[in-house]
Each structure stands twice: as structure tokens, then as C-alpha cells.
């Protein structure tokens, strides 16, 4: 190999020396060697990107599978529909996080490959990296709120704080979640008004739709009422509601409980009856509780004290 060829091959002695041995001191050997190296870098980058994407897809699939949540609260009840909704929610959350991770992986892997190719072509990358760094700092200062919203959105999805269909109190607004993105959450309140809340501005969330909810009713009766009789009557109402197969199977988690005398006011004794329900079913169960308790009290001739 000539001294000039050796100098040209100094940065890549492996491929260049192979080409020189195969084709002699061909002047195009160093150029061909660089081309082969660049092609290998790009091929390895795309192969690595593909493998990382497959790994992320597998992790997302396992995260989306999950297990039944309602079965922890209810035994012997029909939960297929509810579990299907929960599974779909887990799937959407996992796919969103998977999409973000895939984009980040693609940017890192392909960006590193491009910089390596530029360096291989003897194009100085230090000024480029400096310019990108300065641009990143400028964008970071100018888009702090946007970055804050995206980071908050990522953690919200990762931690499953809420999802589409949940009824939440986001501080600025209370309503049903209609859409969730990494930047904003869209809510619709009881008046039909649509709220767009930036994720970065949400400092606390009250979710009424996770796991289970609670329906309750306070029953004020006069001081001279038969306390034991009222308690027995309310317990009978609780057993009657639990015996209703439609309510038990589709809306309730466990049998209603009578807490006894919950409060003493200046004019009445206040009993409380509660029922653990499926998420968002507490309003319907509360209405049924009020109807049946009022009917039972009227039948027994026990008046409720107004204004208690």
C-alpha cells in the first residue's frame, strides 16, 4: 500500500485495507470505505430503532393487558362490561405513552447516527451542537409553560390519574373528561359548558370514577323516635336494596351499611345509611336510597324532621 493510500486509510484501516487488498491501490478505495462505513452506521441505526420499537410495543402490550379491578371489590357479579372499559382505558394510556417513547427513541437513535455520519464526512459538528444547544435554551425559556404542560401530561397518563369518561374536579373546572392529550384536558360540566384546562396548571385532581364511589343518605328523625326501631327499619331497607339483583349486579359493590346515629342536632337525631357503588353510579343509588327510605318511614309512621 502506498504512503498516500495509507494516509487516506488512517481513519478507517479495516474496510480501506480490505478494499486495497482486493483492488490494489485504487484511488477510490478510501471513498468507498467511507461510503460502506456510512451505510453500516445507517443500517445499524435503523435496526436498533426497530428493535427498540418492538421492545416498547411488547412493554406497552403487557401494560395494557393488566388485570380486573372490579373483581377486587365484587364477587359473583357481572363485571365483563366494566372490565372491558377499564381494559380499553389502560390500552389507550399505554399506547399514548408507547407513542411518546417511540418518538423519543427515534430522535435519539437517528440523531446520533446523523451526527456520526457528519463526523465521518469530516463535517465539523461542534458548531452545530453549539447552535442546537443555544436554540434549545432559547426555546426552553420561551416555551416553559408548554414544556410544563407536556411533562405534567406525561406523568398524568403514566400514573393513570384520570381518563376519558371520568368525572373529576380539576380545581378550575368540574365535569366529565371528554378528551385527554399531553397538553390539555377537555371537560364538560353539568351545564354543558366545555372547559379546556392546561395540564401544567392542574395542581390537584379529585376523581369520582376510580375504583368505587360512595352513596349516602342522612335520615333526621325526632328525638322521641324509637332509635332501635329506626335502625332496624334502615337495616331492612339496606337488605332490600342489596336483594335487588339489578342494583347489586350493575351498580353496587357491597351491601349498604347503617352507621347508626351520625349526628345530634338541636332538633333531631341523624342516622346515616351508606352504600359503596361502582364509579359514577352513586347518584342513581342515592336516589334509590332516598325513595326506599322515605317509603319505609312513611309506612312505619316515622316522620322525618325538616331542616335538620
CA separation for the pair 32, 25 (Å, rounded): 13
36, exposed or middle or buried, with CB in 10 Å at 0-12, 13-18, 19+?
middle
pLDDT tens figures, 90-123? 776 777 778 778 888 898 898 888 888 887 777 7
For residue 2, is pLDDT > 50? no
pLDDT digits 0-9 by tens, 113-166: 888 888 777 777 777 777 777 777 776 676 778 888 888 888 887 777 887 778
> Quick check: 3 pLDDT over 50?
no
Q: Give the closest residue to 169 by CA, choosing from 184, 156, 152, 187.
A: 187
- How many whole angstroms separate alpha carbon 177 and alpha carbon 187? 5
Return the bridge partners of 132, or none: none
Question: pLDDT, tens digit, for every residue of 210-239?
Answer: 778 888 888 999 888 888 899 999 999 999
C-alpha–C-alpha distance, residues 132 and 130, integer Å: 5
Residue 20 has pLDDT above 70, yes or no: no
This prediction has a pTM of 0.57
Candidates 113, 149, 115, 109; CA nearest to 132 is 115
Place of cell 369518561: 165
- Cα 27 to Cα 36: distance, rounded to the nearest angstrom: 15
Task: Spell 97-108 as b/e; 16+ CB within 10 A means b.
Answer: bbebbbeebeee
Take residue 163 and report the three cell numbers written for it: 381518563
Predicted pLDDT of residue 24: 52
Q: What are phi and psi of 24, to 5 degrees?
A: 75, -160
pLDDT score, position 233: 93
For the chain, the average pLDDT equals: 78
23 or 246: which leads in pLDDT = 246
**Residue count of the chain:** 308
The full set of domain ranges for the chain reads: 3-142, 151-207, 213-300
| Structure-model confidence comparison of residues 11 and 239, the more confident one | 239
Q: For residues 244 and 194, give the distance between their C-alpha atoms in angstroms, rounded to a whole number.
A: 37
Separation of alpha carbons 96 and 101, rounded Å: 9
| 182-217 pLDDT tens trace | 888 999 988 889 999 999 888 888 888 777 888 888
**Fold that domain 151-207 belongs to in CATH:** SH3 type barrels. (2.30.30)
User: For residue 26, what pLDDT is reported?
Assistant: 52
- Reference 13, options 21, 48, 244; nearest CA is 21
Cell of 124: 465539523
What pLDDT shows up at residue 6?
44
Q: How far apart are CA 142 and CA 273, in angstroms?
A: 54
CA distance 308 to 290: 16
Please provide the CATH number assigned to the domain covering 213-300.
Answer: 3.30.70.100
Q: What are the angstrom distances between the C-alpha of 272 and each of 39, 42, 220, 229, 234?
A: 75, 70, 9, 14, 9
End-to-end CA distance of the chain: 104
Q: Smallest Cα–Cα separation from 213: which of 285, 290, 291?
A: 285
Q: Looking at the predicted structure, is the pLDDT value of residue 31 above 70?
A: no
The burial class, CB within 10 Å (0-12 / 13-18 / 19+), for 138 is exposed
Alpha carbons 234 and 212: distance in angstroms, whole number: 23
Mean pLDDT value across residues 71-79: 47
* Sequence-ordered list of residues with C-beta below 8 angstroms from that of 259, at least 6 positions apart, any chain: 271, 272, 273, 274
- pLDDT recorded at residue 207: 86
Which has more confidence, 136 or 171?
171
Q: What is the pLDDT of residues 249-286, one digit of tens each?
A: 778 888 889 987 888 887 888 999 998 888 778 888 88
Amino acid at each position: 500500500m502506498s504512503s498516500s493510500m495509507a494516509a487516506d486509510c488512517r481513519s478507517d484501516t479495516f474496510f480501506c485495507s480490505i478494499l486495497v487488498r482486493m483492488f490494489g491501490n485504487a484511488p477510490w478505495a478510501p471513498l468507498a470505505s467511507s461510503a460502506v462505513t456510512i451505510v453500516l452506521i445507517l443500517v445499524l441505526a435503523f435496526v436498533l430503532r426497530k428493535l427498540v420499537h418492538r421492545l416498547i410495543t411488547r412493554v406497552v402490550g403487557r401494560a395494557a393487558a393488566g388485570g380486573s379491578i372490579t373483581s377486587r371489590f365484587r364477587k359473583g357479579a357481572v363485571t365483563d362490561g366494566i372490565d372491558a372499559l377499564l381494559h380499553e382505558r389502560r390500552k389507550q394510556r399505554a399506547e399514548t405513552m408507547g407513542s411518546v417513547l417511540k418518538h423519543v427513541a427515534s430522535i435519539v437513535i437517528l440523531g446520533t447516527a446523523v451526527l456520526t455520519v457528519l463526523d465521518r464526512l469530516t463535517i465539523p459538528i461542534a458548531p452545530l451542537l453549539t447552535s442546537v444547544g443555544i436554540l434549545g435554551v432559547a426555546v426552553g425559556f420561551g416555551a416553559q409553560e408548554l414544556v410544563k404542560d407536556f411533562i405534567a401530561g406525561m406523568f398524568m397518563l403514566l400514573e393513570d390519574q384520570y381518563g376519558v369518561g371520568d368525572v373529576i374536579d380539576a380545581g378550575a373546572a368540574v365535569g366529565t373528561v371528554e378528551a385527554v392529550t399531553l397538553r390539555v384536558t377537555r371537560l364538560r360540566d353539568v351545564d354543558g359548558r366545555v372547559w379546556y384546562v392546561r395540564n401544567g396548571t392542574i395542581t390537584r385532581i379529585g376523581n369520582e370514577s376510580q375504583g368505587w364511589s360512595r352513596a349516602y343518605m342522612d335520615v333526621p328523625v325526632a328525638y322521641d323516635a324509637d332509635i332501635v326501631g329506626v335502625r332496624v327499619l334502615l337495616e331492612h331497607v339496606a337488605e332490600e336494596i342489596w336483594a335487588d339483583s339489578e342494583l347489586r349486579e350493575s351498580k353496587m359493590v357491597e351491601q349498604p351499611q347503617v352507621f347508626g346515629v351520625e349526628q345530634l342536632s338541636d332538633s333531631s337525631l341523624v342516622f346515616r345509611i351508606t352504600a359503596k357503588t361502582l364509579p359514577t353510579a352513586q347518584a342513581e343509588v342515592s336516589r334509590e336510597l332516598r325513595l326506599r327510605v322515605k317509603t319505609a318511614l312513611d309506612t312505619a309512621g316515622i316522620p322525618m324532621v325538616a331542616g335538620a
